[in-house]
Structure 1
């Protein structure tokens, strides 16, 4: 091994120096003898440093190759043997038998490649020290993909705080966390979920934050069938798309657990205004936002209102209309 050779060279330095001094006793002056000894020692020291650099570069290259091969397999869902997973994980000092999850970090549009690499190293360092384990990373198409341990306990609880801190920088716009999987070999499942979370987040129009897969399961189900999702959105809120104040009222009532008073406070309007808006929503959609089941449908549709961005005015009205909506409201 290269490092063993370096250690052997280091331990033999003293012996070589003494031998050199002994053979140079015929030198005319002591100064020349000392200079020869120091020259020999410097040469050996430089050789030792070069050996360390070569060994470090070789180890870095091995780690980089293992990380590239492993993350390629995990993000593309390639069928690989457990022996290959274990071999890559051993090189990267990652426990492949422990639960893990995938995090996808959305980079800022303005981030250049050099800044992205610096941010990637900073993120890996922060997570490694906090999660008590190695972190596997990959940069691809404006995102950084991370695989990290997902143990229960304080280290897991600190994940949101660390990710929130990363979003606070100018290099990261959002973080999407996939589901926790039992072993590293199942990492593709967590990565696939993180990508689904990203799709939901990009369509929501919400600001930068940490997104969890478990929080957007209903949205993920809606995204699984785009035609059905589009029809669902049109039929529920097509008549509201040009009335943002009514959509805001739907969101406020959902946030405030159907409390009109709290919704009014959130919207900075009188409580009677909320009641009037709720009545108008019911007239336009056939669904009462003060009834839980109806509010859930309206709220989910509102979260996906980007489906109607390129729709025609006829589509906004709900096409042929919802059978629950009176023709006078359509």
Structure 2
């Protein structure tokens, strides 16, 4: 048979199959509904009203008949199922499963009523496959478009909600609860803030890798993903539900920092809040603890607010900090070597030899400096109470330095988040 005769035969057969599909559309739609509802009851597909499924099937079968007869195939996708699946938060596969099921029903009908040769049947099935591929592609595009819009909206609402909690002033609990429910988050559970900072300043690629490691930990802790996040490159703040089974949040973060991320990440945690509206203080605590962690170069570990609670209080009360410095170590401020010696002496548990080794000086030098400190401050360097008093003054000194850095826009983490 000549190629032109073969082409004409295939075209005639496609027209015949198109007429057959049009006449059998009701029966095929009923068969599709029967199989679709049966699959739905087994739990693998989202349940849909049989009447609606029937109408969708009839329209798709009509589009297939038009395509086989060259009458303008697949002009419009019937029902926009993909967009609805995205809005319902269902997996993307459910946007096209119904089409693939209908394709099998139609293909089985074509094969069951085939009277032509193999080449004609193969051509018809190939054309049907192309038509259903087009329909599936449009459903997936509908899903993707709606999903992206929804994800963007959710990100904006979540960011705005977390920003409101970070800001400080009391927030209306009903407003917070309403926004949380819009995001499918239960606001009546305990939340805890964690913050992470990458140093040195990361490239976009470095931050993507670090952020992915952090989010893997957070999602492992909270598979339901009821997490609120605000971030800038190199800085992330997350408000995480904590009443979850398995290892605690701090434990999981500590394990992560034992690996490669610990060389570049500072991580902190605030105290839990009883509910989402009450969790703003946890955000502020996490950021304050993170600032202290950065100042002390405590990378590779989780600094909890309770670990640095005194420093946090001093950092937020400048008058108290200044008075502590003036009345305890005011005479040492202009003598950095004495301040360093005092700091190391305290960190070495008042052990003279260890202090000398840490400072890389002779023990007699340390002893001489300690006598100078005692003279200038009026404190006994062997008494625990006096040493404790001086240690608090050193914390106040660090708090003032941190405050100065913050005012010079070097460590104001809250300002960076809101930039």
Give aligned pairs, total: 306
TM-superposition CA deviations, 1:162-202 (whole Å, max 9, x none) = 356575355x4x22321122222221010121233244445
> Are residues 1:215 and 2:307 paired?
yes
Q: Between Structure 1 and Structure 2, whose CA radius of gyration is higher? A: 2
Match of 1:162 among 242, 256, 261: 256
Q: Scaled by the length of structure 2, what TM-score is found? A: 0.61
Structure 1 counterpart SS, 2:279: helix
Pick from 44, 56, 70 the counterpart of residue 161 of structure 2: 70
**Segment drifting more, 299-308 vs 281-290:** 299-308
Q: Within 5 Å, which residues of 2 pair with 1:45-84?
A: 45-77=136-168, 79-82=171-174, 84=176
What value does the CA root-mean-square deviation take over the aligned residues? Answer: 3.7
Distance of 1:251 and 1:275 partners within structure 2: 14
CA–CA distance in structure 1, aligned partners of residues 133 and 378 of structure 2 = 87
Instruction: Please say if residues 314 and 321 of structure 2, whose CA atoms lie closer than 8 Å, have aligned partners that are also in contact.
Output: yes
Match of 1:13 among 89, 92, 103: 103
- Stretches of structure 2 that go unaligned for 5 or more consecutive residues are 1-80, 86-93, 405-419
Superposed, which structure 2 residues align to 1:100-111 within 5 Å?
A: 100-108=191-199, 110-111=201-202
Equivalent position SS for 1:289: coil
- Residues of 2 paired with 1:26 and 1:281: CA distance? 105
Q: Secondary structure at the match of 2:189?
A: coil
Superposition deviation, residue 229 in structure 1? 1.4
* Matches of 1:43 and 1:21, distance apart in 2: 22
Does the CA-based 8 Å contact 2:268-2:304 persist in structure 1? Answer: yes
Give, in angstroms, the shift of residue 283 of structure 1.
0.8
Relative distance call for 1:86 and 1:113 in structure 2 (3 A) is farther
Equivalence map 1:237-316=2 (5 Å): 237-305=329-397, 307=400
Between the aligned partners of 2:190 and 2:164, the Cα distance in structure 1 is: 18
- Scaled by the length of structure 1, the TM-score of the pair is 0.74
**Match for residue 36 of structure 1?**
127
* Distance (Å, rounded) in 1 between the aligned partners of 2:353 and 2:201: 42
Contact persistence 2:166–2:280 (CA under 8 A): yes
Contact 2:324/2:396 (CA < 8 Å) preserved in 1? no
Structure 1: runs of 5 or more not aligned? 312-330
Residue 277 of structure 2 aligns to a residue whose secondary structure is helix
Q: Which residue of 2 aligns with 1:206?
A: 297
Is the contact made by 1:96 and 1:184 (CA closer than 8 Å) also made in structure 2?
A: yes
Change (3 A) 1:6 1:201: same
Q: CA deviation at 1:278?
A: 1.8
2:281 counterpart residue number: 189
